[in-house]
Chain A
Amino acid sequence: MRILGISAHYHDSAAALVVDGLPVCAIQEERLSRRKNDSAFPLAAVEWCLDEAGLEPEELDAVVFYEKPMRKLERILVTALRAFPRSWRSFPQAMKNTLGEKAWVKGIIASRLGVPARKILFTEHHQSHAAAAFLTSPAREAAILTADGVGEWATLTEGRGSRSPDGGCAIELLRELRFPHSLGMFYSTFTAYLGFEVNEGEYKVMGLASYGEPRFAEQVRAILRPTADGALELDLGYFDFHLSGRRAWSSRLVDVFGPPRSPGHPLDLATPDGKRFADVAASVQRVLEDRLVELTRALRRETGLRDLCLGGGVALNGCANARILNESGFERVFVPPAPGDAGCALGAALYADRIHFGGRDRPVPDHAYWGCPVDAGELERLAREDGLEVELAPGDRALVERVAEELANGRIVGWMDGRCELGPRALGNRSILASPASADMRDRLNREVKFREEFRPFAPAVPAGVADRYFELPPGGARLGRFMSGVFPVRPEWRSRLGAVTHVDGTARVQVVDPEVSPRFHALLLAYGARTGIPVLLNTSFNLSGEPIVARAVEGYSTFRRSGIDLVVAGRCIVAKARASGVRREEEAVS
């Protein structure tokens, strides 16, 4: 069967194609449209997926949308009417947004793709999350927990998934938490309160949390509290997101935590206000983690299963994931590379294949590289047109040695290899790589390349075989590190030599690189290690602030030209800027 999965209209739209039970390709619309977090109908992504598979739209057996828009309309109506008269201002805007395109997805898909309405199916939002988490994992049987802002009504679901020996699959969601009680909305409200952009700045809250003390934790616990039946509830007196579109929090929240930070206002951690914001972030992060640990402990007791699959945007919180692995009792925790809405395109397609059509289970390749490939020839052509020197490595070995030498000399490398990643993380195919040795490199990257806040940490990548030497990985930690889904302590003896990737609290969001999944990146790490003694590289996404991660060579080249990246690599093609004087081996600078 040929099944196209689509997620769209809220944030991060994407398309994924599953043929005969296996994903063929999947890509976020933003990577092609070049608009960060593009939520428009993913026509470019759909077109690319069909071209990649050599299919026409009429050859598809089904097109699956990742949620039920009419149930969402019902939720919006009920919420607005419940909040009347306070919602009278936001209601017309909400209706205009919804009735224009979002509610009539069946018609939109039929008109844009030309497929008959009978081929268009819908899954529930959290079913898509659950499928993206469980059906892409290698677990035979696992508990499932999904949590995000809101889908139709559900904001958090618990359930279990199983694969039977005869090839059948089952996903059963046992219970759900309903809007407006939502872990995602809770975290997003504080993201907005702290002056960051919702659906984009949640990472910043997590990074900022490490600079603070959780001195508001008791107040936050009173806002997000457990219920007698083991669920959670928000004290809605502190929130306005369900009442108006203007502001997510109420004046009561300001009474407790003080005035909010204005977006764009400098965040100086040396000032009392800066310290207060860091303390609020630390308190919110602590309580989120505590509540998730409580939920997953109960789920472990109830199901008795060893594996847990996490889905939904909340599963992007690496600190929480690490605590769940350490404290819930589950032996393995699986988080897909795209646990948010983008991954739902793949989840919806897999759900339709395995559950709706009863397709036989097939192990899904355990990687994130489902997007468009890089064309080294394109980079070569662009560089030659600009009069830059182009070097073509004679083989993989030569390429890896050459790039490792440059990295060891303290240069910053834009690295493009194979197909781009699905999801928000650069996992070695569209990455900016640099020496992790000193904090100077972190500052240089922030200043010359990424143009972002100083308190945000950079991630390390380490070969699977030696990860334990540098990072305190608990059992199952390497698996969580496969897609950079866990934050773990850097071993104290290495912190001074991994200064660029060690966060202020001594942790790092580690990527554990498997040689079978990323052979060239793995070889590069080893080659770098052979030169410097530490096979760890700083790995950050190949983009500039406010832009999507690069997908094609032209975007990588453009980013290279507009930033302080010294060297860009695509396939075996290497393009370098003129070498600055005074470049030295990074480890020499540290010692």
Chain B
Amino acid sequence: MIRKRGKLRSGAVVAASIVPSTVDLVRALWRDPAHKRWLVPLVVFLSLTAVLLLLAASVEALAPFIYSIF
């Protein structure tokens, strides 16, 4: 039986995975023989955006403040 987790806890687990996943991608881009280092700032920016979106989805009280940024 798969235990159902709360929205907040699920969001926290996913958010925690964003950092290592982003680090992996940044590392791969840095080493890429096709010279894709220029993508790193964009990837970091998008990852931060993803964290904000995830927070908005997981913690409903924060949503109005986060959506106002956009």
Q: Which residue of A lies closest to B39 (CB)?
A: A77
Instruction: List residues of chain B with CB within 8 A of the CB of A73.
Output: 25, 43
B42 touches A77 (CB 8 A): yes
Whether A107 touches B2, Cβ cut-off 8 Å, given contacts A73-B25, A78-B36, A99-B49, is no
Main SS class of interface, B:
helix
Judge whether A107 and B42 touch: CB under 8 Å. no
The answer to whether A110 has its CB under 8 Å from any CB of chain B is yes
Contact present for A103 and B39 (CB under 8 Å): no
Chain A nearest Cβ from B17, distance in angstroms = 3
Also in contact, A74 and B50, with CB within 8 A (given A56-B1, A103-B21, A113-B2): no
Q: A56-96 CB contact bits vs B (8 Å, 1 = yes)?
A: 11000000000001110110011001000000000000010
A100–B5 Cα gap in the complex (Å)? 18
Task: Tell me which of A43, A95, A108, A110 contacts B2 (CB under 8 A).
Answer: A43
The minimal Cβ–Cβ distance linking B3 to chain A, given in whole angstroms, is 6
A189 to B15, CA, bound (A): 36
Contact A107 B21 (CB under 8 A): yes
Total CB contacts across the A-B interface at under 8 A = 77
Could you tell me the distance in whole angstroms from the C-beta of A264 to the nearest C-beta in chain B? Answer: 35
Instruction: Assess whether B46 is interfacial by the CB under 8 Å rule.
Output: yes
Given contacts A77-B42, A108-B14, A111-B13, contact A47 B21 (CB under 8 A): no
Interface 0/1 of B8-37, CB less than 8 Å to A: 011101111110111011001100000010
Given A104-B14, A107-B17, A107-B18, are A99 and B50 also a contact pair (CB < 8 Å)?
yes
State whether B10 touches A117 (Cβ < 8 A): no
Contact A70–B2 (Cβ < 8 Å): no
B16: chain A residues at CB < 8 Å are: 107
CB neighbours of A57 from chain B (8 A):
2
Asked if B59 is at the interface of the complex by the 8 Å CB criterion, the answer is no
- A114 with B5: in contact, given A73-B25, A74-B29, A107-B14 (CB under 8 Å)? yes
With contacts A104-B18, A107-B16, A111-B9 taken as known, whether A70 is within 8 angstroms of B24 at the C-beta atoms is yes
B66 within 8 A of partner (CB): no
13 A–B contacts, CB within 8 A, in A order? A43-B2, A47-B1, A73-B25, A73-B43, A74-B25, A74-B36, A77-B42, A78-B36, A103-B21, A107-B17, A110-B17, A111-B5, A117-B20
Residues of A that sit less than 8 Å from B by CB? 43, 46-47, 50-51, 56-57, 69-71, 73-74, 77-78, 81, 95, 99-100, 103-104, 106-108, 110-114, 117
Q: B: which residues have CB within 8 A of A?
A: 1-3, 5, 9-11, 13-18, 20-22, 24-25, 28-29, 36, 39, 42-43, 46, 49-50, 53
